[in-house]
Amino acid sequence: MEDQAEKLREIVRNKSAAQSASTQSVGSSTQSVQTGAHLQNGTPSKREGKRTRIITVASGKGGVGKTNMSVNMAISYARMGKKVVVMDVDLGLSNVNILLNAIPKYNLLHVIRKQKTMKEILVDTPYGISFIGGASGFSEIANMAQEERQNFINEMQTLASFDVIILDTGAGVSDNVIDFTAPADDVVIVTNNEPTAITDAYGIIKIIATKIDNAEMGINLIVNRVSSAAEAGKVADKLIKVVQQFLNVKLEYLGFVYEDDSVVQAVVKQKPFTVEAPRCKASQCVGHIVGRLEKTEVRTAGFGGLFKRMFGVQV
């Protein structure tokens, strides 16, 4: 069965050279959709003093639908009236822009090098969300000098006006993934029913539990591309028991997403499936998952605590 990551890579390979000259904004061919209270009167909803929720989406194995989950969770949040940004922190293969049919002119690397500000690289979409493009050179974050780190911290703080920041990491357990899991209020692990995916999901949970000092972080599970709730439940039960037994960590089961042809069709069209097929089973599942996640409190100490955990510094 062809995985979603491979389908995205095929789309990239087939992109015409003319598209590389596109502007920062999303192509006009993408249809604008209504996203609820967030776009009412063309103005984002007010924060009312609420803290920004930082959600890191990760997976042990590639091709399980992690990036698709990040983008469609963001859109579901926007439909709840939230101001949302998806930050692509995948090292080496950025896919968020492909799902959104957008070619960002600038990315995080330009911010690290002080060539652009965070606001200047934000890309707005017709779906009520913004996104920030990743870069293959983003590994430079691990080797930034103190002055560069402080500049990056200052730029990241300009995102405090957002209600939700979703960090879409690369697959696996690289240092880059760990760096961007550390600051999260919640980490969402995406897996499916394949034995390798389940094993790799346990592997990344183990790394998170042993390497990240954040007792308040919520570790959550989504089982993707299943034929039934019972099938997903078996996968979740197995992981929850093993994680509890060997890691003494509480793993929350957020829910599952059905295998759905509408998802594949949306990927080919480079549209989020919650937009292309808002009533399909997969879209309904994502809506339920976001609703459940939103009921949990934002437990951590805002952006100051975020960067203390990420860089070992206090702002």
Taking only the tens place, the pLDDT of each residue in 44-64 is 444 445 689 999 999 988 889
Q: Do the Cβ atoms of 64 and 224 come closer than 8 Å? A: yes
pLDDT tens digits for range 133-189:
987 655 656 566 777 777 887 888 899 999 999 999 877 766 677 778 888 899 999
Average pLDDT, the chain: 81
Per-residue pLDDT, averaged over 100-127, amounts to 92
Per-residue pLDDT, averaged over 70-80, amounts to 97
pTM here is: 0.82
Domains annotated for the chain, with CATH where assigned, are 50-310 (3.40.50.300)
Q: Do the Cβ atoms of 256 and 69 come closer than 8 Å? A: no
Between CA 209 and CA 219 the distance in angstroms is 9
The pLDDT of residue 109:
84
The pLDDT of residue 11:
52
- For residue 221, name the pLDDT band (cuts at 50, 70, 90): very high
The pLDDT of residue 10:
58
Residue 206 has pLDDT above 80, yes or no: yes
First-last CA distance in the chain: 47
Q: Do the Cβ atoms of 31 and 177 come closer than 8 Å? A: no
Collapsing DSSP to helix, strand or coil, 258 comes out as: strand
| Residue environment code for 40-56, b if the CB has 16+ CB neighbours within 10 A, otherwise e | eeeebbeeeeebbbbbb
Collapsing DSSP to helix, strand or coil, 108 comes out as: helix
Between CA 122 and CA 44 the distance in angstroms is 15
Q: What is the DSSP string of 244-259?
A: HHHH---EEEEEEEE-
pLDDT tens digits for range 261-302:
999 999 999 999 999 999 999 999 999 999 999 987 665 555
